[in-house]
């Protein structure tokens, strides 16, 4: 290792060795996870690369160095910033790099102190069976900032890096006397708080090394079966750390009995038990009272409920976003399914990009003419809000246009008809004015004409509409009052729709309340600019469009989640595919068949009483469909009982979504001449339940994606990209195949690591395959467990009989 590399690593306290060099948190920006790669060039110079975009000059400056310090003393020359920032390690061979080892902990500590400029304020030891294996050093800096650096023991001495994982927890030897009795153990976030607990006599006390985000890097098994009390810091990271440690402890064998005691539940200032000890001022009586208070709170706090085995197994690993599962296109009636398959193939996009807006188009074409009867007082309309979460350039617009163009054509026809009616109305008004003038003249000449009624002014025509793309709430309410059948709001980017609501956030949330009523088709009053009120008897609105993950994350505020607006969206995040030229087009026959189905749906009429007042026709479930619905309802609500927060809110809406989808599929089958209109059958209900199960899975995925930070998202996208490439190669490759076929993989070690990461994520496995010819040795292959390739087969015709439908529904209900 060159002297330049040593100099850089000494200033990166958390630098960790990798297969191609080192990684560390970048000092040039606030870095929660390592995003800085460090390696050596052939001449010993240091190569720095920040994956968040910081320049070499910014990184070097943050380290307190100059760019010339990146060159080895023996070969130093005037640096070329471009080469320093962009040169990458050679591909054929990567040597193992070893950080500098110090003979004693004192020497290692001095190396840190030289870079920081003064002695450490605190030094805490990690001891295993009487042997010190690691240190944590802390400097209390000005403005309440702190510097924390690790030291760890290795075979050749002490290094300026974290202990190898799994790391021991602090004060491990103090737990020996408690292992047999499995007595109470106190846990806090950070070594300083452990010392504070010990000063109160609350021992044994422990924590994990590495801070709030590294709980899973430690070995917590010595606490199996113990009575554990966790004292979180009074902020979000502290409470998240406590929850994560609790999950780990409940997954042990036997599980620990865990209590989380929040000493300042209403605070969000980061205060902790060490602050409380400091505030006591060292007085014996004050410390005694604080200890008694903490012990009393621990006794009054109920242990966390034991977790089911399946939940424990899931929580024992770091949460991850599930692999994407293709949308079940064969749940659609044939005409719709064939259009989705043909269009996705012609565009080169995932089928969900076509099918999601298609569901909104079908539902809005049915409009308020039909309701499904789930029971006598539960009759929802077929209103759905399918929203695609995708980055720009994901071919989301072409996928939506396949079906939206049909709606735009009808909108254009209605506009032409309205224009013609306006022309006729102008002629009728002119005739009316003449008739009125003649009536007045006649009335003046003949007093007996007083009993004659004057001519009536012809009513103005109403603009019938089926779609809006960009509108204010007041304009939309006016359009809905004139179109009680309902409207489709389609927007290429829905962030404008959400932003429009934010503009009126200070007016009592009126806009948001309006949209919530539109989801159920309820009446609504709108206060117009002039002070008058507009009454919408039945506000029914279908919404579809796309939104980028970052925009959605920012738009879904706590208030918007609590109102239920987010839960009403059917969210999907289909994968992006690389664009490839194709001569494929959507069959004219397929497009025309689907267009005819949509036109038949638009021709549906509601009931009307003698006074012309319209009402929806109610469509009930047949006996077998009702049996499937009841089984789904019970299983779905049992599943929801184990959820909290955003998912619980989403599940509460997905319950009724199953019925709404069943009505959409039923009326589409009727318009396709594949079902009788009187009742919804078991085949239709089972299809709707399959589609609902997909939306439930996809909702979990999207919420998981929204919870990711930038590095989590980058790692997942890298995994998805590699898995998709392997799928295109037939599902099995060697590390050499990945190295030569994937441009973003630069070394053999990177290829091996990337494939191993997929194995650890459960997305593949290693296999030894026999050589192709005679003799030779088996070849190590990576094989995907399940390919994420989209379906290219034509949709099936449906279920042959009720038994098949029951079987399919049973698969859904058991999820």
CA distance 166 to 160: 17
Residue pLDDT, tens place only, 361-372: 999 999 999 999
Q: In a 3-state reduction of DSSP, which class is residue 680?
A: strand
Read off the pLDDT band of 509 (50, 70, 90): very low
Per-residue three-class SS string for 126-152:
EEECCEEEEEEEEEECHHHCEEEEEEE
What CATH code is assigned to 172-315? 3.40.1360.10
Q: Which residues contact 717 (CB under 8 A, 6 or more apart)?
A: none
Q: In a 3-state reduction of DSSP, which class is residue 294?
A: helix
Report percent pLDDT > 90 for the chain: 35
Q: Which residues contact 752 (CB under 8 A, 6 or more apart)?
A: 19, 735
CA distance 568 to 576: 24
Would you put residue 76 in left (φ > 0), alpha (ψ -120 to 50) or beta? beta
Cβ neighbours, 10 Å, residue 180:
7
Q: What is the pTM assigned to this prediction? A: 0.56
Bridge partners (DSSP) of residue 619 are 372
Apex 420 CA angle, 415 and 423, nearest 5: 130
Average pLDDT for residues 551-570, to the nearest whole number? Answer: 73
**Residue 20, pLDDT score:** 67
Cβ neighbours, 10 Å, residue 340:
26
Cβ neighbours, 10 Å, residue 13:
22
Pairwise pLDDT comparison (307 vs 547), residue with the higher score: 547
CA distance 66 to 74: 17
Domain segments of the chain as ranges:
1-98, 172-315, 329-414+463-706
Residue pLDDT, tens place only, 702-754: 888 877 655 566 677 778 788 888 988 888 999 889 988 888 787 888 888 88
Rg (CA), the chain: 34
CA distance 173 to 309: 30
CA distance 605 to 722: 51
Q: Are the beta carbons of 768 and 780 closer than 8 angstroms?
A: yes
Q: Which long-range contacts (CB under 8 A, 24 or more apart) does 186-189 make?
A: 186/228, 186/229, 186/231, 187/228, 187/229, 187/230, 187/231, 187/245, 188/230, 188/231, 188/272, 188/273, 189/232, 189/233, 189/238, 189/241, 189/242, 189/272
Residue pLDDT, tens place only, 424-480: 888 888 888 888 888 888 776 665 555 567 888 888 888 889 998 766 777 888 888
Q: Torsions phi, psi of 455, nearest 5?
A: -65, 150
């Amino acid at each position: 290792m060159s002297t330049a590399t040593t100099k850089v690593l000494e200033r990166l306290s958390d630098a960790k060795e990798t297969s191609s060099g080192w990684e560390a948190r970048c000092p040039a920006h606030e870095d929660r996870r390592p995003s800085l790669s460090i390696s050596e060039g052939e001449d010993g110079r240091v190569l720095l690369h920040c994956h968040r975009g910081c320049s070499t000059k910014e990184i070097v400056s943050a380290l307190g160095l100059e760019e010339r310090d990146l060159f080895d003393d023996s070969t130093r020359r005037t640096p070329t910033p471009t080469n320093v920032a962009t040169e990458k390690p050679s591909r054929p061979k990567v040597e193992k790099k070893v950080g500098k080892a110090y003979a004693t902990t004192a020497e290692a500590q001095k190396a840190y102190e030289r870079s920081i400029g003064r002695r450490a304020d605190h030094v805490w030891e990690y001891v295993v069976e009487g042997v010190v294996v690691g240190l944590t050093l802390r400097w209390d800096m000005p403005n309440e900032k702190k510097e924390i650096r690790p030291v760890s023991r290795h075979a050749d001495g002490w290094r300026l890096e974290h202990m190898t994982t799994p790391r021991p927890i602090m004060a491990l030897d103090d737990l020996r006397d408690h292992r047999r009795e499995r007595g109470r153990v106190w846990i806090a976030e950070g070594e300083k708080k452990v010392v504070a607990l010990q000063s109160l006599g609350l021992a044994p006390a422990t924590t994990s090394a590495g801070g709030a985000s590294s709980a899973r890097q430690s070995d917590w098994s010595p606490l199996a079966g113990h009575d554990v009390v966790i004292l979180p810091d009074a902020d979000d990271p502290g409470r998240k750390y406590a929850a994560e440690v609790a999950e780990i402890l409940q997954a042990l064998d036997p599980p620990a009995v865990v209590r989380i005691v929040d000493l300042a539940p209403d605070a969000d200032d980061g205060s902790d038990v060490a602050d409380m000890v400091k505030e006591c001022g060292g007085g014996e009586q004050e410390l005694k009272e604080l200890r008694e208070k903490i012990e009393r709170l621990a006794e009054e706090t109920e242990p966390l409920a034991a977790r089911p085995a399946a939940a424990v197994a899931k929580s024992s690993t770091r949460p991850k976003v599930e692999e994407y599962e293709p949308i079940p296109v064969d749940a659609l009636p044939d005409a719709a399914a064939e259009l989705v398959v043909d269009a996705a193939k012609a565009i080169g996009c995932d089928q969900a990009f076509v099918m999601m807006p298609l569901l909104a188009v079908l539902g809005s074409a049915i409009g308020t003419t039909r309701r499904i009867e789930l029971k006598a007082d539960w009759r929802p309309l077929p209103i759905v809000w399918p929203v695609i979460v995708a980055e720009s350039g994901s071919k989301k617009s072409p996928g939506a246009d396949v079906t939206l163009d049909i709606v735009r054509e009808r909108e254009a026809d209605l506009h032409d008809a309205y224009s013609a009616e306006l022309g006729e109305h102008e002629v009728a008004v002119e005739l009316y004015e003449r008739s009125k003038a003649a009536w007045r003249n006649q009335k003046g000449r003949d007093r007996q004409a007083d009993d004659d009624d004057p001519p009536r002014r012809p009513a103005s025509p109403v603009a019938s509409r089926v779609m809006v793309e960009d509108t204010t709430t007041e304009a939309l309410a006016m359009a809905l009052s004139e179109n009680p059948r309902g409207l489709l709001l389609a927007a290429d980017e829905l962030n404008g729709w959400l932003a429009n609501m934010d503009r009126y956030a200070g007016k009592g949330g009126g806009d948001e309340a309006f949209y919530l009523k539109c989801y159920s088709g309820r009446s609504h009053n709108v206060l117009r600019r002039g002070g008058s009120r507009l009454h919408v008897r039945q506000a029914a609105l279908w919404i579809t469009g796309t939104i980028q993950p970052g925009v959605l994350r920012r738009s879904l505020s706590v208030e918007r989640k609590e109102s239920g607006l987010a839960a009403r969206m059917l969210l999907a995040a289909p994968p992006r595919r690389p664009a490839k030229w194709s001569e494929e087009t959507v069959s004219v026959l397929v497009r025309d068949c689907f267009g005819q189905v949509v036109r038949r749906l638009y021709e549906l009429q509601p009931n009307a009483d003698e006074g012309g007042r319209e009402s929806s026709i109610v469509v009930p479930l047949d006996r077998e469909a009702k049996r499937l619905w009841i089984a789904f309802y019970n299983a779905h609500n049992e599943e929801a009982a184990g959820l909290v927060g955003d998912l619980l809110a989403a599940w509460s809406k997905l319950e009724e979504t199953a019925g709404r989808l069943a009505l959409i599929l039923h009326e589409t089958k009727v318009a396709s001449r594949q079902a009788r209109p009187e009742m919804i059958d078991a085949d239709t209900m089972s299809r709707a339940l399959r589609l609902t199960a997909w939306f439930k899975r996809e909702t979990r995925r999207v919420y998981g994606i929204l919870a990711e930070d930038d590095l989590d998202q980058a790692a997942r996208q890298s995994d998805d990209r590699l898995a998709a490439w392997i799928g295109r190669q037939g599902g099995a490759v060697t590390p050499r195949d990945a190295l030569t076929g994937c441009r973003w993989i630069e070394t053999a070690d990177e290829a091996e690591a990337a494939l191993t990461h997929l194995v650890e994520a459960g997305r593949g496995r290693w296999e030894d395959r026999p050589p192709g010819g005679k003799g030779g040795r088996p070849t190590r292959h990576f094989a995907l467990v399940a390919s994420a390739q989209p379906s290219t087969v034509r949709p099936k015709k449906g279920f042959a009989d009720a038994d098949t439908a029951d079987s399919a529904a049973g698969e859904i209900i058991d999820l």
